[in-house]
Each structure stands twice: as C-alpha cells, then as structure tokens.
Amino acid sequence: MDTIYIVIVLTLLGLAALDLVVGVANDAVNFLNSSIGSKVAPLWVILTVASVGVLFGSLFSTGMMEIARSGVFHPGMFTFPQIMMLFLAVMVTDVILLDVFNTLGLPTSTTVSLIFELLGAAVAVALVDIWRTDSGMLIEYINSAKALTIISGILISVVIAFVFGSAIMWLSRLLFSFKYKKNFKYIGSIWAGLALTAISYFAIFKGLKGTTLISKDVLHAISDNLGMVLLYTMLGWTAFMAILQHIFKVNILKIIILAGTAALALSFAGNDLVNFIGVFMAGLSSYEIASGVAASGGSVDTLMMTQLSDPVNVDWRYLFGAGVIMVLALWFSKKAKSVTKTEVNLSRQSDGIERFSSTGASRSLVRNAINISKLVEKITPKVVTKFIEKQFKPLSEQEVGDASFDLIRASVNLTVSALLISAGTSLKLPLSTTYVTFMVAMGSSLADRAWGRESAVYRITGVLTVISGWFITAFVAFTVAALVAFALMYGGIYAVIGSIALVVFLFFQFTRIHKKRVKNEEKEDYIVSTEHEIVVNSTNQIEKSVETTMKIYQGVIEGLFKEDRKSLMKLYKLADEFHGESKRRRAYEVLPTLQRLEQGSLDTGQYYVQSVDYSYEISVSLRYITESSYNFIDNAHEGFNQEQIEDLKLLGQTFTSVYRDFNKMIKNNDYSGLERIKERRAEILDLYAELVKKQIKRTKEKECGTRNSILYLNILNETKVMAMKSVNLMRAQMNMFYSDTHN
C-alpha cells in the first residue's frame, strides 16, 4: 500500500489533536460561562469541576462515532483512496474554520461545522467520481435527509432556547428579586431540588446515554418509570439541599451551578468528542480495513468502504488521550477565554465597554421593544407594575461586586439548558449544545433587564453577529471542505503537503492576530480608581502620545519632502492606530474612571477629562495630516517646491521643539517652563499667519498647483490647531500633577 496513506493517517492524527485544542476553545463557553460570569468559585475550582466532567465524558464517548463514518454519506459508494481524501479535507477545514471563530472570539457549533464539512467534502469527492466514471447520481452518495434535519433543528433550537430562557428567568426574578437571599431561605431547597433533578436527568440521558457507564437495562428501567424516578429524585435532592442549607449553612446555589457545569462538560465530551476525533478514528478504521485487504493480495484502489457502516468500537486509550488534551486546552487556551468573554460580556448585568457597535437592525428592534413595553405598561394595573418594578430593581454596583450576573441567573442558565437539551435528545431532535446554551444565556439576560437603554443596541448587535456566524458556519464549512476535497482529489501528494503547510501557516497567523486583539482589549479594560492612579496613568499616556506625535509629525514632513510613499503609508497606519486608541479611551475609559473616583477628587477628575479630550483632538489633526499627505503622494501629485519645503521645515522645527520641552517637563515633573511655551505658541500662530499669506501669494502667481496648495494649507492649519491644543494639554497635565501633589 502506498506511503501516502500512512502520511494521511498521521496527518489526521495531528489534525485531530489540534482540532481538540481549537474545538475545546470554542465549546468551553457552553459549560463555563455561567460559572465564570457569576463568580461562583475561584477559576481553578470551576476548571477542576469542568475537567472532571470532560474526562468522564470522553472515557464513555462511543455512541456518536458513527456520524463521521456513515451519518452524512454512504461509505459503500466510495473507494479507499477517495474516503481518505474526503476525511483529510474535513479535518483541514475544521481546524481552520474553528480557529477563525476562536480568533474572533465568537462561539459556533462544532457539530454543525463537522456535519457540513463532511457533506461538502463528500459532494466534491462524489462529483469527481461521477465525472471520471461518467456514471452514477449524486443522491446515491449523500444522505441528504440528515442535512435537512440538522438545519430544521438549528432553527427550532435557537427560537425555543431564547423564549424559554427569557420566560423562566423572568418568573425566577419575579419570585426571588435581585435581593434573593431572604426568599431563598424558605423555598431555596425546593428550587435546588428541581434544578438538580433537571441536571441529573440531563447528565444521564444526554451525557451518558449510549455509553457503558450505565447499562441499557438500567436506562430502559428508568425510561419505563420516568415519572416516579423524577419524583423520587426531586424529593431526594430537595431533602438533601434543605439539610445542607439549614443545618450546615451551605450556599446551595453554588452546588447547583457547579453540578450543572460538570454535567454540561460531561455532555460536551461525551457527545461532541466525535467532532474532533471521529474523522481520525474513521480514517484509522479505513486504513486498517485496507491494510487487511492489501495483506491478502487485494487492491485497495478499488476497495469500497462498505465496512464503515458497521458498529464502531473505539479503543479507550484514544478516548482518554483526547480527554487529557481537552482538559489541558481548557486550562491553558487563551482563545477559550476570549470566546467565554464574548458571551459573558453580552449577558453581564452592568454597563461598560461594549465590544459591538449598533446597527440599523438592532436600533429598530430596540425602538420596537420600547414601544411594546410602553403599551404593556399602559394596560397593566399600577399595583402589578409597582410590584414587578420592585422585584426587578437592580442592586448597586457595590452590592453586585465584580460578578457579571448573580447566582440565580447562573442556575437558570444551566437548568434551562439542561432541560432543553434533554428534551431534544428524548425527542431525537439534533439540538446543538452551543446554540441552546448561548440563546438561553441571551434570553435570561434580556429578561433580567441586563440589556438596558444604555447597552441594548450593542448587545443585540452582538447576538445577531453570533447567530449570523452560526449560519455562515454551515455555508463556509460546506464550501471550503468541497474546495479542499477537489484540490486533494486532483493534486494528490502535492495537495496533501500543501494543505498541511496551509494549516500550520494559518494557525500561527491566527495566533498572532489573537494576541494582538487580546492586548488591545486589555488596554481597554484597564480602569484606574484612585486619584493618584489617575495621575500616574494619565501622565504615562500623555508621555507616550507626545513621543508618538513627534515621531509621526516629523516623519510625515520628511516623507513629503522625499515623496516616500511607503514611509507615509506606515505613518498613516500608525496615526490611525494612535487615533483609534485615543478615541476608545475617550469613549470607554473616562466615565467608568470618574464613577470610581472619590468625592474629594473632583479637580483631578476635571483635569483628567481635559487631558483625554485634548489628546483626542490632537490625534484627529495628526491623522488628517498623515492621511492627506499619503493620498497626495499615492496619487503622484507634484511635490512641494524648495520654498515650501523650507517654510514647512521651519514650522515643523518650531512645533516639535515645543513638544520636546514638554516631554522633558513630564519626565522631570517640572512645569515651571510652561509660560515660556505659551509664548512660543504665539510665535507659532504668527508664523502660521505669515506662511498662509506667502502661500496665497504663490497661488495667485500660479507657482504651485491646486492639490499642492490645498495640502500645504491643510498642514499649516492642522499644525496650528495641534499647537493650540498641545498647550492646553500641557496646562491640564500641570494642573492634574499639582492637584495630586497638594492632596
């Protein structure tokens, strides 16, 4: 048998290991978001509980492995070489696609991606076979009914999960309010009994169904007496929780959340493991079948893979190894944290930095919701409205702490998710764990009034972005897998090597992009809270902005004189990034910082706001100068004449000398020279007026073109604006420094 097939099997093994890492990074959000968002326990405790669930689930993950072998296509229609190329195309596509979503921090369904990758690759390989043999029909190769069932399941699960999450969260909050501890004393054990019964049912029928951990006889006995089993389970859990709550003073909400986390993690590993290693296991089985045929003298080139339809027995060592890799990814994957952060931020109770902007669709939905709310309020009796408002009155920021939402909402998220997934499994509906858990979390956050007037449009945009990503997943998975399969079928060994190189290259590229994005988000999330921290942080920011401004301004003037397009392009990107940072700081940092200041720090807060505003306005002018200069050279317009160059050099030297002196002031904490700088600002304004007159004279005498004159005057004007704002920035910085030293 050709060596290429050994290479493909080893490649499938490597890609399966990589797929486990990127897959866990995306699916971890399913079972971690409620625990992490509610701060139910230290992170290491949450991850330990989830790790136990993952290991148990992976060890007993055998019931779903047939999907990769025969769930989407009929393996008996494909030869051994075709099936190996099909599996390789699926794994290459899956690793790349999931890593793209992880890099963007968006949760998606690994089940849907696998199904449509298998479908796309199978269609491509089948078409190649039909074209080569000039016989057969595509429908004979593909199990099309499976794809239609999955699509309908997606639509149903999204709507039902959101509706149920909203309804049950609204009733729960109406029952307990945000100050739930008082009411929870009396009915908490009943609440916990119901929740843990739902979680237990979920763990048995969704997480462990089809495994050897629970025998089929036991499962049948439970199914035949389900009503009584659930009743006794609920009574048992209720009694146990009452003992823990009233005698041992245990916070039983934490038990619910950690138990739900473990159950969802178990289900994820038990059922979704096929998404990561199922294709490799199918490829290994195919290789073993072909090896047996080759050993007996048969030809593998025409071997039809009918045996893949037989029941599968997976070696427990592969399952254990996959479980270990998943646990390690759970603990150490930075991309898993990004995906979890997206969902937690969209559902958090407090305001803050919103990752997504508003769109026409989100604005329209919010306006309609407000109108409906007003209508409902009019027809609802005032007594009822008053009671509801009392129950939904949020806690203060000090009472909430740093949790994104409380334990009641976390328990609702886990319980409703477990119930819906269990119900879907019993009805044999192909529900996605990702879709259900995400939409329940979004529904509960809406019902909990986490989407207020300040944040609703941005949160809805985020939800719509994630949902649209789900549907795009199916299309992209199908298309890319088909294209890769075509390439492998026609390219042979060269395409195999090329696909491996592509995966490695893109994986490292996406990792680099993700690191950069995380670094930017960490900058945005950094909020100071004391007066001294404000002064130190603002001083550091201003010092960096002064150095950046000098670098860009001097570079632009030099690049214009030399007509250096590449240099100007780099400076334009740098100026755009500098402007973006100033804009984000102004939009997202100022208000949260001021809200955390003490009452006696009002002067410092005022100077801080001024310094941020002036820095932003300087960045606007600097970006405009850089963009105009780059476009001027990029369009190959005629450069400045010698007289213009000399004038701009004089203006630039005068302007940057002011910045150098300001930088020395900041470093030495000595602002005694500010009055002299104010005098030099007046000199810059006088020089500006003189240079404008000279340019007007040149224009009248037609010594330079229109584009030349416009750019020249723009540079003069923006430099004047920057000089004025810079002195204001220096004064604000001085006042802020002295307000800190005098307190």
Q: Which residue has the tokens 């019964």?
A: 197
> What angle (nearest 5°) sits at the alpha carbon of residue 106, between those of residues 525 and 149?
160
For residues 721 and 684, the answer to whether their CB atoms sit within 8 Å is no
Q: Which residue has the tokens 């240099």?
A: 567
Residue 599 per-residue DSSP state: G
Q: Which residue has the tokens 């945000």?
A: 178
Q: Is the confidence at residue 481, as pLDDT, over 90?
A: yes
What is the DSSP annotation of 35-93? HHHHT-S-HHHHHHHHHHHHHHHHHT--TTTHIIIIISB-GGGSBHHHHHHHHHHHHHH
- Between residues 314 and 159, the one the model is more confident about: 159
- Between residues 366 and 236, the one the model is more confident about: 236
Give the C-alpha distances (Å, rounded to integers) separating 44 from 164, 480, 507.
31, 38, 27
> What angle (nearest 5°) sits at the alpha carbon of residue 90, between those of residues 87 and 91?
90
For residues 575 and 553, the answer to whether their CB atoms sit within 8 Å is no
370 Cα distance to chain centroid? 28
Task: Considering the chain, tell me which residue range(s) the CATH 1.20.58.220 domain(s) occupy.
Answer: 530-742
- Between residues 467 and 168, the one the model is more confident about: 168
Of 52-61, 224-233, 618-627, which gets the smallest average pLDDT?
Answer: 52-61
For residues 377 and 385, the answer to whether their CB atoms sit within 8 Å is yes
* Distance, CA of 179 to CA of 182 (rounded, Å): 7
Q: What is the pTM of this model?
A: 0.76
β-bridge mates for residue 142, sequence order:
73
The CATH number of 530-742 is 1.20.58.220
Query: What is the per-residue pLDDT across 509-562, written as a single tens digit (0 to 9) for each?
Result: 888 887 777 666 655 555 555 667 778 888 888 888 888 999 999 999 999 988
Q: Count CB atoms within 10 A of the CB of residue 720.
A: 21
- Between residues 12 and 222, the one the model is more confident about: 12
For residues 187 and 427, the answer to whether their CB atoms sit within 8 Å is no
Q: Band the pLDDT of 24: cuts 50, 70, 90.
A: confident
Burial class (CB in 10 A: 0-12, 13-18, 19+), 672: exposed
Query: What is the per-residue pLDDT across 693-734, written as a single tens digit (0 to 9) for each?
Result: 988 888 887 778 788 889 999 999 999 999 999 889 988 888
Q: Is the confidence at residue 423, as pLDDT, over 80?
A: no
Q: Is the confidence at residue 431, as pLDDT, over 70?
A: no
For residues 189 and 241, the answer to whether their CB atoms sit within 8 Å is yes
Q: Band the pLDDT of 124: cuts 50, 70, 90.
A: very high
Q: Which one, of 196, 189, 191, 163, lies nearest residue 175 by Cα?
A: 191
Q: Is the confidence at residue 438, as pLDDT, over 80?
A: yes
Q: Which one, of 36, 21, 10, 9, lies nearest residue 407 by Cα?
A: 36
DSSP helix/strand/coil, 304: strand
Q: How many residues does the chain have?
A: 743
